[in-house]
A and B are shown apart, each in its own frame.
Chain A
């Protein structure tokens, strides 16, 4: 997506590439969230003692109330789409399009979780978009081979 106006003919460019490996520390709360997902096919959140919201995915801290969350609360595997987009263009380093992503508030949760929405006919984009704009109900589909990652599940529209 480099704009040609930025690289004038005759001026030298030198190719470069950064490839840093990284290891992100998920911390105790997210680690437990992932273990529940992998071992028990459950999506769990943490309740904030201030605003009473159940934060999903689980967070140790409510940055609305500035307090630590207190207890674990399992939430439903059905929910509603808050908003969505369909990635349609290929970008280096990103998953191959087309793919739909959405924030979904699961039953009992006070916040929304991001994941792929599968099972849509993305060859008819206008129809799929029109359907998703109506904030349809969705359900969680757990994968058989779970690794304890967010990619252990996706959403699909409920029949």
Chain B
């Protein structure tokens, strides 16, 4: 994006590829992302890392095991309409709750699968492609931020706790400002959240402006009940149904692009004009946000 925005390139192809399906001991591999001096002995993996956040969200905001299962079932239902998803499982809340427990409170069907996959984006200067008449997705805003590495250092600090996604809040604030979005719940039609677990999804709601942290459980209730106001959340099914890790964040942008171009097939959100994609990395250490729209900037 910066290559094009700065004028150094007219057209850029960006791609991402993941081959982790070949790793049989992936959780042992993921263990190596954590502090080898102080933390590697304590079974930290991407799953326990998410579980530590899920239980903190339960203590702090009153989420229940049922909230996690209901979101997972909802995402898997959405993925049934997405031919590009890895898993097509017609799951109920009960089936999720009955699946084996991996790390309390996370069940097997609340965890993303090990996926292989790839994604490519063609990013072009606006004046290049707007002549072709084909629908394009206009990038209205994008930003990325990084946080401290150590999870234990992020409980007691004014910037925000381990479940506040400080970096996503900063990234979204910048992207919304660039896009001129003041009331995201009204102005955004689709959000695609980089959330391999239910707990990761709800952590993104407040930074995206969908609800306050305290209102999160009620927001989930409305969302899974089908009477949620505001944008459509993860119409693709999200990473719980397909998580080729290195490509997952780019896929969120691609899904948003398909939505605002009206090319999302069976998962198309009617009348989608503006969408926001999030990307996450590390132990909630890195976040990015990207706002895309059907109309070029300045045409609103």
Contact = CB atoms under 8 A, between A and B. Distances in A.
A binds B: yes
Interface of A: 1-3, 5-7, 22, 24, 26-27, 30, 51, 53, 55-57, 59, 63-64, 82-89, 91-95, 99, 101, 103, 105, 110-116, 125, 129, 132-135, 149-151
B8 interface: no
Contacts of A30: 37-38
Interface string B87-121: 10000000000001111111010000111100000
B38 A57 contact: yes
B103 A64 contact: no
A87 B43 contact: yes
A65 to B, nearest CB: 11
A73 B59 CA distance: 30
Q: Most chain-B CB neighbours within 10 Å: which of A7, A22, A91, A111?
A: A91
B21 A125 contact: no
B298 to A, nearest CB: 38
Interface of B: 21, 24-28, 31, 36-39, 41-45, 48, 51-56, 58-59, 86-87, 100-106, 108, 113-116, 148-153, 155-157, 159, 162
A94 B43 contact: yes
A95 B43 CA distance: 6
Contact of B25 (A56, A63, A93, A114): A93
Nearest to B57: A83
Q: Most chain-A CB neighbours within 10 Å: which of B38, B52, B102?
A: B38
B52 A103 contact: yes
Contact of A103 (B28, B101, B102, B152): B152
Contacts of B45: 91, 94
25 contacts: A3-B114, A6-B116, A22-B36, A24-B37, A26-B37, A57-B152, A82-B56, A83-B52, A83-B53, A84-B55, A85-B104, A85-B106, A86-B103, A87-B48, A87-B103, A89-B101, A89-B108, A91-B27, A92-B24, A92-B28, A110-B156, A112-B155, A113-B152, A125-B101, A151-B41
A133 B45 CA distance: 21
Contacts of B162: 82-83
B157 to A, nearest CB: 6
Report the 8 A-B pairs with minimum CB-CB distance, sorted nearest first.
A93-B28, A85-B51, A83-B56, A6-B21, A112-B152, A86-B104, A91-B27, A92-B25
Contacts of A63: 148-150, 153
Contacts of B101: 88-89, 125
Given A2-B21, A89-B102, A114-B44, 9 more contacts: A88-B103, A89-B100, A91-B45, A94-B28, A94-B45, A95-B43, A112-B156, A133-B55, A150-B39
A85 B148 contact: no
Contact of B27 (A59, A94, A129): A94
B41 A88 contact: no
A129 B153 contact: no
A152 to B, nearest CB: 10
A85 B27 CA distance: 16
Q: Most chain-B CB neighbours within 10 Å: which of A2, A51, A114, A134?
A: A114
B113 A114 contact: no
B155 A91 contact: no
A22 B25 CA distance: 18
Contacts of A55: 153
A4 B126 CA distance: 43
Contacts of A93: 25, 27-28, 31
